Structure 1
Amino acid sequence: MKVVVIGANGQIGQHVVKELQQSDTHSVTAVVRKEEQAEKLKVNNIQAIVADLEGTVEDLAKAISGADALVFIAGSGGNTGPDKTLLIDLDGAVKTMEAAKQVGVDRYIMVSAFDADKRQTWNEGIRPYYVAKHYADRLLEASGLNYTIVRPGGLVNKPSIRKITVGVEAKPSTITREDVAHTLIATLENKKTYRRAFNLVNGEHSIETALNNLD
């Protein structure tokens, strides 16, 4: 499967790109927003494209054309204001959905936020972020694309344990960024995850078992 990763320079994105590059069944194109980021990836023999989520749908369509699947992990980052959150995490995401439909990339994996679908649980300190994720998720669900929405808990930079809990069994907790990456890749061709949205934390089950047991 030819996979385009948007947000490839982020911490989760780097894990996803590395794992896909080493895969025998997938290939990867990394989409980043700066030329120097692309050059760094190319030095490591990773195909990279520069594209701006604040740019046009047409430019994004060119960047993802020819792919079988799109993984959206981009974000405005914690040091920006609500304006950038709106432009990147919401409008940027929606533009990639429109671009995917335009060029026939049907499989779409979205990284969202834990309980983004439940307003009553949102952290007030980053409420604009949750608003952006909430509505991006809703628009993806209504897009007609074959989506999977992954809503990880608190992200930590610890070694992967390859054990997760998903869905209604997942209580507020943490998950390693590397295990998020492993899970995203595992969803690509797992039909149990098609047109599904679920919370994700580190837990008790292997990634494959947890995904196969989604209700």
Structure 2
Amino acid sequence: MKVLIIGAHGKVGHLLIGELQSRNIDFVAGLRSQEQIKAYNDNNIETQFIDLTASLDSIKDSIEASGADVIVFSAGAGGAGYDRTLEIDLDGAIKTMMVAEAIGIKRYIMVSSIFSDNRSKWDASGIKPYMIAKHYADDHLRGTNLDYTIIHPGALTDEDGTGKVKLLGSNESGSIPRVDVARALAEIIQNPTTIGKEYTFASGDQATEDVFR
């Protein structure tokens, strides 16, 4: 197994690198700039340039070159504006799904958001364009033939992780350290019984390995 982390320079993606290293899981960091690539290569981390705004053929070449058989999509525009959010969080995500189907990568794990499927929460979120993009990217993923898992973590924090989470109902909210999201992703990557499932979660009192199964 080799995992391609698309968005490896983001906070969750970067933490996932540490989780995979600690578990001896082979991975490649998908990055969008040569400066990032140099910095990661200097730390002996395998990298792959991926421009989610590029053509479908270009993205296909990049993903094929990574040699991965699992994709984790954790990229995002990071509040860079409505147009950029649609280009990265929606169209960029869908292009990677199309490529995965075309080249035979079956396993695809999406980092989404809490309330991405609850329109009544979007206006108050302050990030409505992001919610819209995630909603439709998630919906597209459900219609593919990929072995997908979608996670919907609560509000992300930079606090120390606890390794403990709880599943949330459709109208429940909560927060969670990014490091615990990375731990959840690592568990999901290792556990094929999570295929076809979605998880909405926040910090709680259940061990991560007991929840993502």
Pairwise same-fold verdict (TM > 0.5): yes
- Matches of 2:170 and 2:160, distance apart in 1: 23
- Matches of 2:193 and 2:49, distance apart in 1: 33
Shift, 1:196, TM fit? 1.2
The equivalent residue for 2:30 is 31
Indicate the SS of the match to 1:95.
Answer: helix
Q: Output the amino acid matched with 1:193.
A: T
Report Cα offsets for 1:144-194 as digits up to 9, x if no partner: 100000011110001110001125389301000000001011101323321
- Number of residue-to-residue matches in the alignment: 210
Shift, 1:11, TM fit? 0.6
The equivalent residue for 2:113 is 113
Residue correspondence of structure 1 range 84-103 to structure 2 within 5 A:
84-103=84-103
Report Cα offsets for 1:74-110 as digits up to 9, x if no partner: 00012x1111110000000000001111211110000
Report Cα offsets for 1:124-150 as digits up to 9, x if no partner: 421111100000000000011000000
- Matches of 1:97 and 1:132, distance apart in 2: 15
Greater mean deviation of Cα atoms: 62-71 or 109-118:
62-71
- Could you list the runs of 5+ residues in structure 2 that have no partner in the other structure? none
- Could you list the runs of 5+ residues in structure 1 that have no partner in the other structure? none
Residue correspondence of structure 1 range 177-188 to structure 2 within 5 A:
177-188=178-189
Q: Pairwise CA RMSD of aligned residues?
A: 1.5
TM-score (norm 2): 0.94
Preserved contact between residue 170 and residue 201 of structure 1 (Cα < 8 Å): no
Q: Output the amino acid matched with 1:53.
A: L
The equivalent residue for 2:47 is 48
Identity over aligned pairs, percent = 40
Indicate the SS of the match to 2:15.
Answer: helix
Q: Is 2:5 the partner of 1:5?
A: yes
